[in-house]
Chain A
Amino acid sequence: MKAKCYIRGCAAISPQESFAGHFAPQLLTLEGKSMMRVKEPDYSGFIPPNSLRRMSRVLKMGLVAALQCLRNSNTSVPGAIITGTGRGSLQDTEKFLHNIRDYAETALNPTPFIQSTYNSVNGLIALQQQCTEYNNTFVHRGFSFEHAVLDSMMQLAEGNATEVLTGAFDEMTDEHFYIKSRIGYWKNELTQPAELLDSNTTGSISGEGATFFLFSSKPSDICLEGIKMVYKPSGEELQQALQAFLSSQDIAAEEIDLLVSGRNGDTQYGHFYDGVEGEFSDARVFYFKPYCGEYDTAGAFGLWAAVKELEIGPAKTVLLYNNFYGEQHTFMLLRKAAI
């Protein structure tokens, strides 16, 4: 597949002050547990009150990040809407599970069930923007956003769309934080973002976010050149996949001047990052998880951070590498286009 995929605009709701469009990385101070929450913007300027009243948290986050991205890109109706989410609306899923039990399966509110459906954010974006074109949602941990990106690149390559709105959203609830803590997803002791990468313990800090991009086949400043996903590789297979990806993109390791790395401070998966980072000794490395935390679609925040780095320079060629708990690994290559 050969198609140019330019990034015309983006928007992020994250634990950072990202919504306004700039990225001034701030290490937060957490209290109580190793969990970062997003800074929610004022949604009222984006969603009519009559629609807003029913929406749960991640629906608002997802919809508004998408709308802000469209605004930032001077577009209103994209040619396709494609998203990824690992968990969808956890709040609604939990509410419906609790209601089933509390009301013994009688007189149940339909709203949490409807909103627990993974594609509900996509449906809302399409509805609000009256976009009747291609619409898809991937729900596969660290391959949710990444397949949304691949699908988008294919849409552009096929000529089915010239502009694709592509994004990801995930939230964390206290209930789900506890559930995942039972199988070692998070650091046992309260760990501050500033200590995340040097903590030398297992688990990570939980994060969340909603991030959207407008991909276009029409040239603009920043180009997403390619993506490669690798499923459950050994360390050696990952290295081979990296080399194959670089050569398929016709680029030498020395040409990468910035590596955006998803290192999450979990010692179980550090060796993957060691291996990849070791290939780019000349490049500057930016670690994005201390700013957004770990979640299924954190890779989307990583891509957003890479775009922001390219916008301000001096980086011209960026490689993004991320994995989700050692199973789903992804490389993306970005370039500042010579226009």
Chain B
Amino acid sequence: MEALKLKLKQQIIEALNLQDTKPEDIDDNAPLFGEGLGLDSIDSLELMVLLERNYQIKVEDPREGRKILQSVQTMAEFITSKQVA
């Protein structure tokens, strides 16, 4: 899980071009949107692309997406649950 979360952080930084952000700057449980990293709805679509390309997980419903993309922690848990299933 820890390795997955670190990898996710690196992938998020690259996908969203968060130039001055390092993986250690992102707290596992900090909200990605709004206050936290200050991401917006277009970023959430970009993160869904990230999940699909790197983890073969397709999120169809934007409302479901919002739950999965709350934080790095929720993303990692979702990926793990899909991989087990």
Contacts and interface: CB of A to CB of B under 8 A. Distances in A.
Interface residue SS majority, chain A:
loop
11 contacts: A49-B20, A50-B38, A53-B18, A53-B19, A54-B16, A54-B17, A54-B42, A107-B52, A109-B49, A110-B46, A111-B46
B53 interface: yes
Interface in B4-40: 16-20, 38
A106 B51 CA distance: 12
A114 interface: yes
Contact of B17 (A53, A103, A114): A53
Interface in B41-55: 42, 45-46, 49, 52-53
Q: How many B residues are at the interface, by size bracket?
A: 10 to 19
Contacts of A251: none
B49 A108 contact: yes
Nearest to B19: A53
A197 B40 CA distance: 49
A110 B42 contact: yes
A325 B23 CA distance: 51
Interface of A: 49-50, 53-54, 103, 106-111, 114
A109 B19 contact: no
Contacts of A106: 52
A106 B42 CA distance: 17
B69 to A, nearest CB: 15
A166 to B, nearest CB: 28
Contacts of B19: 49, 53
Contacts of A103: 53
A107 B53 contact: yes
B50 to A, nearest CB: 9
